[in-house]
Amino acid sequence: RMAKEDQFMMFLAKCVLLVSIIGKYLGIGPKERVYRSILTRADFIKDLIEGHFRGCYDLLRMNVGCFLQLADEMKTRGLLTDSRTIKVEEQMAIFVFTLAHNERNIVVQNRFQHSGETISRYFNKCLKACLRLGKYYVKQAGKGVPQEISSNPLFYPWFKDCIGAIDGTHIPAFVSMEDQPRYRNRKGVLSQNILAVVDFDMNFQYVLAGWEGSASDSRVLRNAIWERSSN
């Protein structure tokens, strides 16, 4: 009888070992926490906002006041709202950090202690919110002749179709090492060449962003004309 009990216990031990091996292979069992940062997500954002000004600028490429103003405008206009676990400030920090450093999802996961799905979801929410925010700042020209033209005999009727002024400007850019030659402008600074149109009240009528700093103004203008005509 003792021999049979020993055999049964040996069989049981082998079964337990086999189940343990299969469970480990299939990923079954208690999950190990992936992210173990000392700072919680809320503490990290608080430290970012209340800490040294260089911390926010280095991470998000904007000062604390500018970042908080952007987040507040998103909330005020109802473009973003706090979720159960992530406040608007953290949502925007994820979005801006990704853009500022052109980071991959896996890097942002580690920085903000969230899963890849969460990072992707809030990045897309913030992107759509920024696109909706554009309508408050980019105003299309009216159909009438601007008063600045119609009331001035020096301009009217020769400039009756003028809607404002067009110009290009260079905005500092932060890009990877391999992309830097394309973004280095004639002054040796990394930038994007931005084309913008404003009306007589200094409201933006049109903005074309994305061109490398090395691109000439004439090339950017040709692209803007082509895009407008093709649309």
Average pLDDT over residues 50-74: 88
Domain extents in the chain = 41-136, 147-230
How far, in Å, CA of 61 to CA of 42, rounded?
A: 20
Q: Count CB-CB contacts under 10 A for residue 80.
A: 24
Q: What is the pLDDT of residues 132-183, one digit of tens each?
A: 998 888 767 667 788 888 888 888 988 888 878 888 889 888 888 888 899 9
Q: What is the pLDDT of residues 103-145, one digit of tens each?
A: 889 898 888 888 999 999 999 999 999 989 988 887 676 677 8
Contacts 24+ apart (CB under 8 A), 83-92: 86/41, 86/114, 86/118, 86/122, 87/42, 87/45, 89/45, 89/49, 90/41, 90/42, 90/45, 91/122, 91/125, 91/126, 92/67, 92/126
Residues in the chain: 231
Phi/psi at 121 (nearest 5 deg)? -65, -45
Which H helix or E strand runs over 72?
helix 64-76
